[in-house]
Each structure stands twice: as C-alpha cells, then as structure tokens.
Chain A
Amino acid sequence: QKEVEQNSGPLSVPEGAIASLNCTYSDRVSQSFFWYRQYSGKSPELIMSIYSNGDKEDGRFTAQLNKASQYVSLLIRDSQPSDSATYLCAVNPDLGAGTALIFGKGTTLSVSS
C-alpha cells in the first residue's frame, strides 16, 4: 500500500525561526510532490510543488526533494504566527495526468510570537 508519512507534531518554533517539515513516501516511482497548508476547519491550500531532485524556492518557502531517499521536505524561513497551521505532504504516485494525490496525516506547526 502506498504511504506518505509525516511527523504529526506539534512542531513549535519562535517567530523568525526556520521551520523544517519532513515527509517520506513509500512508492519509489512517485514523480510529483506537493505541500499544502490547512488551517483548522478550512480546505488544503497549495503552497508548493516539486518534481525534480534538489531545492525549489518560492519566497519564504523552500521545498527539497531527494528521490533516492524517498524524502521531501519544506523549510519555512522567518516563520510568522500566521504560518501556524497543519502542513500536508501529498504525493502523485504515478506518471499519469490526473492521478489522485495521496496525503500524509500532516504536521501541525505552531509559531509563537
């Protein structure tokens, strides 16, 4: 069974610090990876996608992918209290367009001011 694993947290960081969120996945052929942010009672909101090994930066967010280790991470620089949310890692398990994503349980991040 294809699995996406995340530490549920909570991960607590002070305002201005770097938050590091990690995710591993079981299916080696997975090709695309996504980070969503979900505030309590709200829908998942896409933060970043990554398809190639290495780093991808977008503002304060950096996604890192290592397919050999089946590992994807999200770094949030200069963390703000508004970043406090649950971060969902999602994986597209095959090459097909439109394939449903598999989600991890999410990591809850708490940024204290």
Chain B
Amino acid sequence: EPEVTQTPSHQVTQMGQEVILRCVPISNHLYFYWYRQILGQKVEFLVSFYNNEISEKSEIFDDQFSVERPDGSNFTLKIRSTKLEDSAMYFCASNGGQTISGNTIYFGEGSWLTVV
C-alpha cells in the first residue's frame, strides 16, 4: 500500500540552528501538507502545497518556516532558527484531491524534533 515516508524519524537540534525535515508523499497525490503536534496537544495545520506553491497556511507558519518541493518526489519543511517551542512531532501528509470522496489526507509516521 502506498505510504507517505518521512526522514528523520527523530532529530535533536540546538536552539537557533536550522532544521530540514523531509517527506516523500504518495506518488500520484496532488496536495501536500505539514502538520505538527506538540506533546499532549492537538494536531495543528501548518501549511498546504499544491502545484508548486503554498495554497494555504496557518498563523503558526511564520517567516521562520518554509516549504519546498525540490524535485518530483521530495517535499521539505525548513525551520530557519529553531526555538524551544518548536519541539514537536511534525507530520507530512498528502491527498489525491480528485473528488470530494477522494479528499482524504494520509499521514506519514512523523519526525520528532527536539530543540535543546
């Protein structure tokens, strides 16, 4: 069964450092997302990406965040200068998007980011 894959599964970084989280969405999907989940809290939307540009973003997705699809398969989230409060599980997700019944979002296993 096709799946969304993410790397790394866990990363520890020092405050102020840049981090890049990588994702390979399901191959024929059109929409890509990043969500995050701080420990014990709800899953929060960060950004969606379609046709090589950001289609939607939340208030959380400020100037320290950026996304990129550098080639035909990878989708990355960059955090420029990490803060302690960026410590969270980051989920990549993708969506085929063809019809309302196909508008289902599938999640990767997540990248756990710890900022120290």
Number of interface residues of A (CB under 8 A): 26
Q: Which of A42, A88, A90, A97 contacts B100 (CB 8 A)?
A: A97
Q: How far is the CB of A2 from chain B (nearest CB, A)?
A: 11
Task: Report yes or no: A105 in contact with B41, Cβ–Cβ below 8 A.
Answer: yes
Assess the B97–A97 pair: CB atoms within 8 A: yes
Asked if B43 is at the interface (CB within 8 A of a chain A CB), the reply is yes
Known: A97-B102, A98-B48, A99-B56. 16 other contacts (CB 8 A): A32-B103, A34-B104, A42-B109, A43-B91, A44-B91, A44-B107, A45-B107, A46-B105, A51-B100, A88-B43, A97-B95, A100-B45, A101-B45, A101-B105, A103-B42, A105-B42
Name the residue of chain B whose CB is nearest to the CB of A43.
B107
- Residue A80, interface by CB 8 Å: no
* Residue with the greatest number of chain A CB neighbours at <10 A, chosen from B30, B42, B98: B42
Number of interface residues of B (CB under 8 A): 29
Please name all residues of chain B whose beta carbon is closer than 8 Å to the beta carbon of A95 when the two chains form the complex. Answer: 100
CB distance from B38 to the nearest CB of A (A): 12
Q: Chain A residue with minimal CB distance to B99? A: A97
Q: Which of A41, A46, A106 contacts B106 (CB 8 A)?
A: A46
Question: Is A31 positioned at the interface, with any CB of B under 8 Å from its CB?
Answer: yes
CA gap between A88 and B108 in the complex, in Å: 16
Q: Which of B50, B102, B110 contacts A43 (CB 8 A)?
A: B110
Tell me, rounded to whole Å, the shortest Cβ–Cβ distance linking A98 to chain B. Answer: 4
Contact between A92 and B103, CB atoms less than 8 A apart: yes
* Smallest Cβ-Cβ distance to A95: which chain B residue: B100
A49 interfacial contact with B, CB 8 Å: yes
Set of chain A residues within 8 Å of B106, measured between Cβ atoms: 46
| CA gap between A41 and B37 in the complex, in Å | 10
Name the 6 nearest CB pairs between A and B, nearest first: A98-B31, A97-B97, A103-B43, A105-B42, A98-B97, A43-B107
**What's the Cα separation between A46 and B105 when bound, in Å?**
8
